[in-house]
Every structure is written in C-alpha cells, then in structure tokens.
Structure 1
C-alpha cells in the first residue's frame, strides 16, 4: 500500500501558469493541441511550434502544407485533412456545401472565375450564417470584383490605394513608380499600404514609391539625381547645366585638348582607353600631370593614359590572352576561355601536357615551344603531333625515344641505331646528327657502324673501303662477314668464276690473261689502265700494252720496249713503285 502511494505521488506534476502537462513534462499552452505537442509533427521552441518538413502551423497545430490556407486555418475551418492513397498526397475533405480550392474549403457564394473573392476579400459568414465576401475598402461588389471610388485601377487591373501611385514627369501615375507593387502589411489595418520594391530599387517617400538605385545620390536624404535631374528608365536625366551618372557635376567649358570628366577639365591624353572603371582618368589609379598619368604605388603606366597593376604585366604586355581584374589597389590576370592561369601567366590549354600544384605546367612535353597567342605547339624537328607526343617526319620511335633517320640503319625489319654499335651524336654547330661508333667499329655513313674485321681496305690506301667487298654483310656482333652465294673469303672477296677467269675486287670475273698481279698480292685488270676485251687488254689514254698489261709511258721512261721502271720496280696505277 505504501509502495502504491509513493508511485502516485511521484507521477503528479504541477505545471506553471499558461503551461500544461504532456507525457510527464510541462509545455506552453500555445504548443499543445489535442493533448499532444505540435500534433507530434514538430518541436516547441520559444512558446511556438516549429513544424517538421512539409508541415505548417495552423490554428489546430502542425498539419501537412496541402491543408493549411493562407490565413493559417486548417481547411478554412470547414473540412478535415485526409491522405489520398491514389495520388499519394494530403487534401482537404470539405464539409457539405463547401468545395475544395487548394488548401481551402470555400463556399460557392464566394467563388467566381476560379478565385475566392477576386483574390481581395475573405469568405466569412454574415449575421445569418450565410457565407459571403468581405471586401477591403479598395474593392466592391458581390465578389470584390470592382475597384471602389477611393481606389486606383492599375494597368494590370489591380485595385490599389492612391498613396502607392507615383506621378511621372509626363503627368501619368505608376504604381510604386513602376518598380514594385502595393501591399497591405497589416491585414487588421487595410488602410496602411506600402510598396514592395523590385530588386535594384530603393523605397522612397515613406515606402510608397520605388526608385532605381542608379538614380539615388543619397539614400539617407532620399536624394534623387543630386536634386539636379529626374530619374527616367533607371537613369538620371540631368538639368542642362549638370552631368554625371547622378547629375553630381556642374558643367564647365574645356579646351580643345581637354575633356570634362568628374567635374573637372582633364587632358584627353589622360583619359583611359577602357572606361569601365570607377574613374576614366588614369584608369582610376593615378593623377594627370601635364597630360601624362602618374600612377599610384603598385601600378604602372601603359601608354600615357592607363594605370594598371604591376602584377598584371607579363613580358611587357598587359595580361596576354586574358584581362586584368582590379580590386582596390591590387589586380590579377583572369585568363580567357581555353587558357589556364598560373603565376600571373595565361597558358593555352591546348599546349599543356601536365599541370602541377606549385609549379608552372609542362608545355608541349618539353619537346617544343608553345605559341601562346595561336595556342599551338611548335615542335623541335625530332618531334611532331599536337602536343609533340609523336616523332617527326625525319625521325622514328626506337625504344621509347625519337631517333633521327640519319642515325638509323635498316639491315633488319626494324630500324636499328648505328647498326647496334654506336650512339647518335648531334653536331649543334652544323645542325646534323651522325653515329659515334664504339671501339673497333668504324663509321661508313652517318647511320652505320661496322666492325673493322668486315671492312675491305681500298687498294693502295690505309683507309677502310667497302663492307665485305660489297658481296655480303657484316655480322656486327661476331665481327665477321656473311658472304652472298658464290662469294667467299674473309671479306667476301673471292668468287667462283668460269674456267680461265678469276675474280678481281671491284671488277668481277676477268680473264686470267688480263690480270696483273703485284708483289704485295694486289691484283688489277690490265694494270689498272685498261679494259679486258675478249681476253686481251685494251689500253686507255696514253698507256701502251706491255707484257700483257697496260703500262704508263712514265713507267717505261720513254722506251716502249722496256724494261718497266728500268727493271727496278713495278708500275702500279701508272707510277713506279719500288724504284725507277
């Protein structure tokens, strides 16, 4: 028994005045509806319900927005809020004799042309309980459909209080000066009107007129066009002796080389070429001194009349491929479309290969120069493509690098640099590339390095002549000749010839009767001074036949019968060798 009494005492709550108990807690009466806090669809804050999303506060608590009318009544107090399963929305289920109209339940006596009391009045019961339209003083009629004698009809057929009409210079009147609409802020006092002004306008005349901010010279004094003009079409139309955006300057007579600017005569050479600034004199960041702009600190002069931020100058030009955005005493380059800005420079997006956080972007893969104005890469001669990512017409891709054609050998299906035994060297002075060969390899062209063992020494010389006598190719790694069919020898210098013939380097198979052999083993055809025809030497020029060969007269010392070189040597290529 004592235990039950204790529970009963613990549950009793006494709330302060103007509060009621709900679920063991006290709440302001203004937040409690039908024994719940805000119909369980909101929270009580500062003695009022703050409804959940898609709910509005009505005179009966928080209800779906579809059921709360403009006067915060639930279905105009003539219906209940129900959920429509078919359309998945809330709607008003109106009492008999009332019809649904948006979030309201309206009696037909108040409806005309799909409007409740022509949007002006309210539907209310008269003393006999019959619904009818209660009209504001600016309208009259059964449905408030006409303007009353004290109201003014606007161009869009609205009825407004005359206090909202502003007289124009031409004698006509416009609602809120043509820049807003007339509104009753207090429904309990429909004789108190004010203008709701459009954006960019300012309320004047105690809120009964709206004037463009472009015409307001002093908002505190409600001064229009400096009291020296009228506002027409959002611009000041100044009196004859005044000028300026707000008629703030009295006109002066200026010289031929001067222009009236901001209330003073200024040399035309100080008037900025770009007047889209706070002041056209020296771009608003300097003073005119003897016809030349003296720029403020941090600004530099371009020409005689423009002062621009030093931070906007790049390579002596003002924001190439962009424009200078000036804020206060500083400025920065804003790049045109298709350009990327970094460090005050506008880089063409078409030239950028890679961007970095703290460094300028990489242009043209570092393989050429970017034409900033044209936005194209001008590639080094080795490279090509839009961003120099390809090899040029005079180079080929080899192991990921572009190699000049002048350093590429073509002995295999794929190009090989310097036949695999050299590096491509650039002579920057001559502007050419050629192979620099490894040790024991010799260059026989700009693109070829051949092992010394494969080279045939030219007759009578110490320099190297032909690769494998021209009758094979060099296995460069092995350093040995691989001869063509029918050829053999270390340098492929020997060939199988018909009977009675022998192979002579550079001549082919020749009759043995025409071959001259020297003491060093060298062999020539007709002593190198004739041609073998039908097994006989036919001498050329002044050479004469001697012992089956052709000998120069110098080797015979004027004696056609010999001996050659006085018997003390041999005639090689028309010259005695070994004595005379």
Structure 2
C-alpha cells in the first residue's frame, strides 16, 4: 500500500491557478463540468467549450439543443435531460410542479396563453421561493402582458423602447423606420435597444433606425438623399432645386435639344432608348460627342444613342428575338419566350427538331430553312409538314426517303425509283432530278432505266429508240421484252399480219409490195417518201416512183430511168448511201 501511494504521489499533477486536472491534463475551470471536459460533448478552445453538432453550451456544460433554454440554462434548472426512445429525441423531464415547454421547465405561475411571461420576461423565484414573471422595464403585469408607461406599443402589439421609433414626415412614428424590429441584444442590460434591419436597408442613428439603401448617399456619414431631400417609400423625394436617384445633382437650365442627365446637359440624341441602366447616356458605356455616342471598347453603337456589347450583335441586329442583358463590360442575348439560345443566337423552338450539348440545334430536319421571326419552316420542294418531316406534293416516300415524282416509275402497283436500276440525282444548275442508270441500262425518260437489250436502235445511229418497239414492256431483271398479244420478236417488232402484208415498226401491217428493205436489214414503207395505198406506193412531194418504191430526184441525178445513186449505193430517206 505504501508503494502504491508513493507512485500515486509521484505522478500527481499540479495545475496553474484557475485550471483543474482531468485525465492527467490541465484544463480551464470554465471547461470542466462534473470532472469531464465539456461533458465529453465538445472541445475546450480559448477557455470555453465549443460543443459538438446538435449540442449547446449550458450552465452545466454541453447538452443536446432540445434541453438548453434561451438563457443557456439546462431545462431552466428545474429538470433533467433524458432521451425519448419512442420519438428518438432528447427532452426535459421536469420536476414536480413544473411543465415542459420546449427546452424549458416552467412553473404554471409564469404561463399564460401558451407563452412564458408573454415572451418578454423570465420566470424566476421571488424571495419566498415562489416562481413569478420578472418583466423588462418596457412591460408590466403579472405575466408581462402589457406595455409600461415608458414603452411604445407598435402596430403589431409589441412593446419597444421609444428610442427605436422613427418620426415620419406626416408626424407618425414607425418602429425602426418601418424597416426592421427592435430588440435587446444584451439580456443583462434591458435598457440597451437596437434595430435589426431588413435586407436592403442600413442601420442609422446609432442603430436605432433603418433606411433603404436606395436613399443613402454616404453610409460613412449616414447621409440620406445627399441632404437635399427625404426618403419616402424607399425613394428620395428631392428638394425643388435637386434631382437624381439620391438628390445628388443640382438642376440646370438646358437647351431645347438637350436633357438634364446626371448633373449635366446632354444632347437628346445620346440619351438611351432603354433607360434601365446605370447611366442613360449611351447606355452607360460611352461618351456623347457632338450628339453621337462614342462607345467604349467592346461595345458598338446602335443608332446614335445606344452602346451595346458586340457579343449581342447577330447578323447586324441587336439580339434578334431576344434582348441584350448587360453585366459590367460584357453582355449576352436572353431569348424571348418560345426561343432557345445557343452561341448568342435565338432559335425558334417551333423550328428545332433536335438539340445538342455542344453544337447548334438541328432546324427543320435539315430539309429547309427556318424563318426566325415568324418561327416557321420553309421546306425544300421535296419535303413538307410543320418541321419538314413529310414528303412534299411533288415527291413520295420510298424506303424511308422522299423521292421526286420525276424519278419514279409506275409499272408496278407501288412506285419504283428508276425502274429499280438507277439512282435519282439532282441537276442543281437546271433544278431538275433525273435517273442515273446502272451499267447495261439506258435512260429513256427522267424516271426510267431500261435494259439495253429491250431497246430498239434508231436507223443509222447508236441512239436507242423505244422500249420493246412500243409493243410490250421490259422485264428489267431478265433484260428481255415481254410482248403484247399478237406481237413477237426480240424487241416485239413482229406482228401477225394478214397474208401478203408485213409489220413495219411505226407503220403497222403494210403490203409487202410497198416495203423497201435496205442492206442493213432496216425496212421502210415506200422508201420513207410515200404512202402505201391498195398495195401501191403513192409518192409524196417531188419524189418519184422507181422499182416499186419512192425515190428522191437527188438519188436519180435527174434521170428518171435510173440507175439509183449511179448504181453505187441505195437511196435512204432521199439521200444516197453506200450499200454494205
């Protein structure tokens, strides 16, 4: 035992004055409660407890906020702080004869209309230990329920010190000039009052009045309306010879083309059309020079009187379909309702078909142009609909695309582009669409691609004539003609004719006696210069009959008895041609 005592004595700590030892360390007495530092619910800093979150410093240390009253007493010194398992909160368990009221334990002698001493006083024991209301000097009564003779009753039935009342120009008085409320900042000195001012106001008269910042010309000097007016309804009402938001300008007599602005006479042509700015002269971003605004750097003039940020100019116009919001030396376009802003441009929502994060929106499905002012899509001629999402009157939907009627064939129930063997192209110079055909297919119209095996060739050239001689149609995939009834042949060029007649392309069934056959296999009626009547050629014009056909005089060299072309060729369409 002696050995233990010696060790204990050897390890004892001697703390400085006003400090005590806790767990082997010295702490200020103001931080130690019941042998703990801040009840183990806070830290000791600068000789005072800084309590943990949801804890407050009371006269007995750090306790849950639900148990510390407005005077920093724990349950008003008439209860203990306990945890309610049912509601999961801390609450005051009050002594017998006291009732819980928020974070306080209050005696019924101090309660009236669910308020403790009418919210003004403090419940305390008198010299006989009987609880009663101790009222501040501005109230009186058993429950501090009425204003005392030295106090003023405000419009909302509050009792305040007369020093907080501000006299108005009409002779009435308002608490804190009508812009705040009066309170006692120091509970130990209830004769010291001050105003808590509303936002946008400033404390004046040693904190006993509140004045709108719109009326204060110098906060350091507590100067109102430059000492040349009074503040009414948060605005300065200036004396007759002064003007300005804060009566800071003495009036001058200006010329007929001038206006008094900001203490000087300024040409009316420099006064901004929109005066909602720091300065109405050149929109506050330039100087007036000979009646014209000279704008600051980064600003440009609109008309003679407005200086606007260059960033608000789009296509030479000031924020089309919006307005320019100016902040300091920069500005940006703010779009009107129904418009979407991107990159300084206001796009009509009615034209937008898709929006992107980092790029301008897609307008009219990229199938037309948007009229920004009217907010409507003007579609390319292939397209239609409100947002150009439909095909136009001159096109049809084919495989998800609008194809011009000029490129559509109608040989099947459903329209087919270029008879299925070509693509539709646009000639931007001529403004037309036509079919560009695949290899081995030829175009006979803007909308048709036909396999060349189905086409007849015109005599004497490489040009193609008609599809299947006009007597059938081409099976484009097979590259072969499908002939009409009574017709046959590779190109449907042969027709079943009566005996003694033969089918001639373009002429029908003709007497064989009228048919002229050339060395290249081509056949014509009466040499192409006459008509077959009753099995005989009747020549037209100056042509004359020769060997059952019609021959031009040029082919006979003036000799009606021949021979044709001096016997060295054949007459084709009135012109000599060497026979093959």
Aligned to 1:399: 399
Q: CA deviation at 1:74?
A: 1.6
TM-score by length of 1: 0.83
Task: Measure, in 1, the Cα distance between the counterparts of 2:226 and 2:264.
Answer: 17
Bigger drift between 268-277 and 78-87 goes to: 78-87
In structure 2, the CA distance between the partners of 1:510 and 1:87, relative to structure 1 (3 Å rule), is: farther
In structure 2, the CA distance between the partners of 1:390 and 1:16, relative to structure 1 (3 Å rule), is: farther
Task: Measure, in 2, the Cα distance between the counterparts of 1:11 and 1:489.
Answer: 130
Q: CA deviation at 1:322?
A: 2.6
Task: Measure, in 1, the Cα distance between the counterparts of 2:478 and 2:374.
Answer: 54
In structure 2, the CA distance between the partners of 1:518 and 1:27, relative to structure 1 (3 Å rule), is: same
Q: Could you say what secondary structure the match of 2:334 adopts?
A: strand
Aligned to 1:540: 540
Task: Measure, in 1, the Cα distance between the counterparts of 2:142 and 2:198.
Answer: 33
Q: CA deviation at 1:94?
A: 1.4
In structure 2, the CA distance between the partners of 1:123 and 1:487, relative to structure 1 (3 Å rule), is: same
In structure 2, the CA distance between the partners of 1:140 and 1:503, relative to structure 1 (3 Å rule), is: same
Aligned to 1:94: 94
In structure 2, the CA distance between the partners of 1:395 and 1:10, relative to structure 1 (3 Å rule), is: farther
Q: CA deviation at 1:131?
A: 0.3
Bigger drift between 410-419 and 244-253 goes to: 410-419
Task: Measure, in 2, the Cα distance between the counterparts of 1:36 and 1:410.
Answer: 100
In structure 2, the CA distance between the partners of 1:486 and 1:86, relative to structure 1 (3 Å rule), is: farther
Q: Could you tell me whether the CA contact under 8 Å between 1:180 and 1:198 is conserved in 2?
A: yes
Q: Could you say what secondary structure the match of 1:82 adopts?
A: strand
Bigger drift between 475-484 and 286-295 goes to: 475-484
- The 5 A counterparts of 1:413-424 are 416-424=416-424
- The 5 A counterparts of 1:101-500 are 101-351=101-351, 363-364=363-364, 366-384=366-384, 388=388, 391-396=391-396, 402-411=402-411, 416-438=416-438, 440-457=440-457, 463-476=463-476, 478-484=478-484, 487-495=487-495
Could you report, residue by residue, the CA deviation over 1:515-554 in whole angstroms, capped at 9, with x for unpaired residues? 8878876667899999999999999999999999999999
Q: CA deviation at 1:42?
A: 3.4
Aligned to 1:3: 3
Q: CA deviation at 1:225?
A: 1.0
Bigger drift between 410-419 and 523-532 goes to: 523-532
Q: Could you say what secondary structure the match of 1:519 adopts?
A: coil
Q: Could you say what secondary structure the match of 2:413 adopts?
A: coil
Bigger drift between 252-261 and 277-286 goes to: 252-261
Q: CA deviation at 1:166?
A: 0.9
In structure 2, the CA distance between the partners of 1:52 and 1:473, relative to structure 1 (3 Å rule), is: farther
Q: Could you say what secondary structure the match of 1:311 adopts?
A: helix
Q: Could you say what secondary structure the match of 1:269 adopts?
A: helix
Q: CA deviation at 1:243?
A: 1.4
Q: CA deviation at 1:268?
A: 1.6
In structure 2, the CA distance between the partners of 1:13 and 1:514, relative to structure 1 (3 Å rule), is: farther
Task: Measure, in 1, the Cα distance between the counterparts of 2:536 and 2:86.
Answer: 121
In structure 2, the CA distance between the partners of 1:353 and 1:242, relative to structure 1 (3 Å rule), is: same
Q: CA deviation at 1:206?
A: 0.7
Could you report, residue by residue, the CA deviation over 1:417-452 in whole angstroms, capped at 9, with x for unpaired residues? 434544434322321121234555332100222232
Q: Could you tell me whether the CA contact under 8 Å between 2:110 and 2:116 is conserved in 1?
A: yes
Q: Could you say what secondary structure the match of 1:326 adopts?
A: strand
Q: CA deviation at 1:3?
A: 11
In structure 2, the CA distance between the partners of 1:32 and 1:443, relative to structure 1 (3 Å rule), is: same
Q: Could you tell me whether the CA contact under 8 Å between 2:244 and 2:262 is conserved in 1?
A: yes
Q: Could you say what secondary structure the match of 2:4 adopts?
A: helix
Task: Measure, in 2, the Cα distance between the counterparts of 1:552 and 1:95.
Answer: 143
Structure 2 residue runs of 5 or longer lacking an equivalent are: none
TM-score by length of 2: 0.83
Q: Could you tell me whether the CA contact under 8 Å between 1:369 and 1:378 is conserved in 2?
A: yes
Q: Could you tell me whether the CA contact under 8 Å between 1:426 and 1:434 is conserved in 2?
A: yes
Q: Could you say what secondary structure the match of 1:560 adopts?
A: coil
Q: Could you say what secondary structure the match of 1:347 adopts?
A: strand
Q: CA deviation at 1:289?
A: 2.7
In structure 2, the CA distance between the partners of 1:52 and 1:455, relative to structure 1 (3 Å rule), is: same
In structure 2, the CA distance between the partners of 1:8 and 1:366, relative to structure 1 (3 Å rule), is: farther
In structure 2, the CA distance between the partners of 1:221 and 1:566, relative to structure 1 (3 Å rule), is: closer
Q: Could you tell me whether the CA contact under 8 Å between 2:288 and 2:294 is conserved in 1?
A: yes
Q: CA deviation at 1:362?
A: 5.2
Task: Measure, in 1, the Cα distance between the counterparts of 2:45 and 2:405.
Answer: 84
Task: Measure, in 2, the Cα distance between the counterparts of 1:32 and 1:398.
Answer: 89
Q: CA deviation at 1:468?
A: 1.4
Q: Could you tell me whether the CA contact under 8 Å between 1:565 and 1:579 is conserved in 2?
A: no
In structure 2, the CA distance between the partners of 1:538 and 1:12, relative to structure 1 (3 Å rule), is: farther
Q: CA deviation at 1:495?
A: 4.6
Q: Could you tell me whether the CA contact under 8 Å between 2:519 and 2:579 is conserved in 1?
A: no
In structure 2, the CA distance between the partners of 1:575 and 1:210, relative to structure 1 (3 Å rule), is: same
Task: Measure, in 2, the Cα distance between the counterparts of 1:533 and 1:60.
Answer: 139
Q: CA deviation at 1:577?
A: 10
Bigger drift between 61-70 and 109-118 goes to: 61-70
- CA RMSD, 1 decimal: 4.6
Q: Could you say what secondary structure the match of 1:439 adopts?
A: coil
Q: Could you say what secondary structure the match of 2:453 adopts?
A: helix
Q: CA deviation at 1:177?
A: 0.9
Q: Could you tell me whether the CA contact under 8 Å between 2:164 and 2:195 is conserved in 1?
A: yes
In structure 2, the CA distance between the partners of 1:499 and 1:114, relative to structure 1 (3 Å rule), is: farther
Q: Could you tell me whether the CA contact under 8 Å between 2:42 and 2:52 is conserved in 1?
A: yes
May I ask how many residue pairs the two structures share in their alignment? Answer: 580
Q: CA deviation at 1:356?
A: 6.6
Q: CA deviation at 1:461?
A: 7.7
Q: CA deviation at 1:505?
A: 4.2
Bigger drift between 54-63 and 416-425 goes to: 416-425
Q: CA deviation at 1:561?
A: 16
Q: Could you say what secondary structure the match of 1:163 adopts?
A: helix
Q: Could you say what secondary structure the match of 2:66 adopts?
A: helix
Could you report, residue by residue, the CA deviation over 1:367-388 in whole angstroms, capped at 9, with x for unpaired residues? 4333333344433333445555
